[in-house]
Amino acid sequence: MRLSSLLTSTARWGRAGFALGALALLSGCDYNFWRMDGHQSTITVAGPVARSQLEVFYVTCWVTLVIFILVGGVLAYATLKFRAKNEAEEKAVPPEQGHGNPLIELGLIGASVLALVIIAIPTLKGIWYTYDVPEDRKADTYEITATGYQWWFKFEYPSEQIAGTGALTTGNELVIPAGRPVRINIRTIDVIHSFWVPKLAGKVDMMPNRANFLWLQADEPGYFWGQCAEYCGDSHAVMRFRVIALSPKDFADWVAQQTSPARNVTPKPGEETPKAQFASLRTFKQNETGITDKYEIAPLEAWKAKQFPEKGENAALIAQGKALFASKTCASCHEVRGHGAAGISGPNLTHIGARSMLAAGLIENNAEQLRRWIRDPGSVKPGNKMAKGYLDNNIKLTNEEEVALVAYLQSLK
Ligand code: HEC
Ligand SMILES: [Cu+2]
């Protein structure tokens, strides 16, 4: 009896030990786990605003660690020192309880105030610093307006005006100049969302009827993950976006490309289709959710590769897709500038082919995933508003039509 209970308990501990060991082993393989890095890490930061927020976090951590060690130490000391050492002591009436020592109590109040002051000084400095772009950097500031929609983001560039249209508008991928402060006006069209780019800055709520803003800066060119950080309905958890920071020259090129109307693919006979320049750099793995690892391994290069036309474009198919875009209600919700589509309830698709991700950072922007999205957006992203106006109105696409639409969307660089 005793032996068997001993055995079961050893087995139990053994299992727990094994589980712990396996966990350590598994996480041991993950370099990023120990570095506390990941797409949305606030510990590995890439800009001054996030860095300032991290510093406040560390100050608070250290102060509370010191308090923990002191209080834990005194508790452990008292527990060991004053425990009942034999049966007689266990049964004894506890000694008369005191009402505290005024000196210790005053000391504790003083120490708490000191701890709060130590935390408050960098916190207040951080709040002022992150609130708005510092005076001496104001002249260099670039301005963008971000608007939250259920469940995607619209980005407008007021300083890039397009004749007859207004400000340059994109969706789900926020392209910014690296090394410059960027002031972001924060708006919402429906419910409360929250704008957060963990490695750069955040979070500030997107509130109905309230003009919030924040500023951020990326030290270097890079590809960053953003996320809506305020519960906003069905697809809140997958309401993401990307931030792409580019060098001044790349940024100017990007603006020039984006402010021009959508591409028209009409190759002349004998003309060669341009080749994608980075796409063949590596081979990438793909998981079942439709996200390849190329944005993990070389995110910025992979994004840049998307800026070039796809290999082997089929002009006839693209033209067919363009016509379908107008006839299958797509144009009533989406804008494709220069192609006569001016809908505003969905993301602007003028240059959709040049974005790395679809549906607010959820799936990769490639032929297979585009087709999956067009066929049944609701099964990819629960509750999203595209399915409502389109499949619910009994718009059906044949396989050929899907392929043509995909070719068309991919050509919009
Ligand atoms: C009722 C309005 C509506 C109609 C009609 C509609 N869409 Fe959409 N579409 C949306 C909305 C809203 C989203 C954003 C969904 C999300 O991510 O939550 C979207 C997203 C997309 C995206 C991804 C954009 C991005 O930035 O990630 C593509 C591509 C797209 N739609 C293509 C189409 C095509 C092709 C059609 C026609 C067959 C179509 N849409 C019809 C509203 C619509
Ligand atoms: Cu949201």
Contact 152, 171 (CB under 8 A): yes
Domain 139-259: CATH class, spelled out: mainly beta
Overall average pLDDT of the 129-134 stretch: 94
Torsion sign (Cα): 309, 312, 316, 322: negative
Provide the percentage of residues in the chain whose pLDDT is more than 70. 88
| pLDDT, mean of residues 122-142 | 95
- Does the pLDDT of residue 278 top 80, yes or no? no
| pLDDT at residue 81 greater than cutoff 60 | yes
Mutational test site, ligand 1, from 334, 379, 396, max ligand atoms within 8 Å of CB? 334
**289 or 173: whose pLDDT is higher?**
173
Query: Sign (positive/negative) of CA torsion 148, 352, 413, 361?
Result: positive
Count Cβ atoms below 10 Å from residue 250 Cβ, excluding itself. Answer: 18
Q: Which contiguous run of DSSP H or E holds residue 173? A: strand 173-177
Percent of the chain at pLDDT above 90?
66
| Ligand 1 pocket residues where CB is under 6 Å | 151-152, 171-172, 235, 328-330, 332-334, 345-347, 349, 352, 358-360, 374, 381, 384-386, 388-390, 405, 409
Atom of ligand 1 nearest to the CA of 397: 38
Q: Which amino acid is at 318?
A: I
pLDDT the model gives residue 3: 44
Task: Tell me if 139-259 shares its fold with 294-411.
Answer: yes
How much is the pTM? Answer: 0.86
CATH fold label, 294-411: Immunoglobulin-like (2.60.40)
Distance in angstroms (rounded) separating the CA atoms of residues 295 and 276: 16
pLDDT at position 203 is 92
Does pLDDT of 410 surpass 90? yes
Ligand nearest to the CA of 191: 2
The residue-averaged pLDDT of 169-188 equals: 97
Question: Bridge-partner residues for 407, per DSSP?
Answer: none
- Contact assessment for residue 220 and residue 176, using Cβ atoms and an 8 Å cutoff: no
Assess whether pLDDT exceeds 90 at residue 77: yes
Task: State residue 93's pLDDT score.
Answer: 86
Average pLDDT on 1-29 reads 50
**Which tokens hold the place of 98?**
């005191």
- pLDDT tens digits, residue range 253-274? 999 999 999 999 876 666 655 5
Average confidence score pLDDT of the chain:
87
DSSP SS3 for 81: helix
Token pair 């209600």 in the structure block, residue: 329
Q: Give the DSSP H/E element, type plus range, for residue 323.
A: helix 315-327
Of 264-273, 359-368, 382-391, the poorest mean pLDDT is in 264-273
Decide which of 214 and 390 is more confident. 214
What pLDDT is recorded for position 125? 95
Tell which one of 320, 386, 392, 405 to mutate to probe ligand 1, the residue whose CB is within 8 A of the most ligand atoms. 386
Euclidean distance between CA atoms 236 and 167, whole angstroms: 27
Ligand 1: atom nearest CA of 409 is: 29
What's residue 6's pLDDT? 44
Q: Which residue ranges make up each domain of the chain?
A: 139-259, 294-411
H or E segment and range at residue 203: strand 201-206
Phi then psi for residue 20, to 5 deg, are -60, -45
Say if residue 135's pLDDT is above 50.
yes
Whether residue 122 has pLDDT greater than 50: yes
State the pLDDT at residue 189.
96
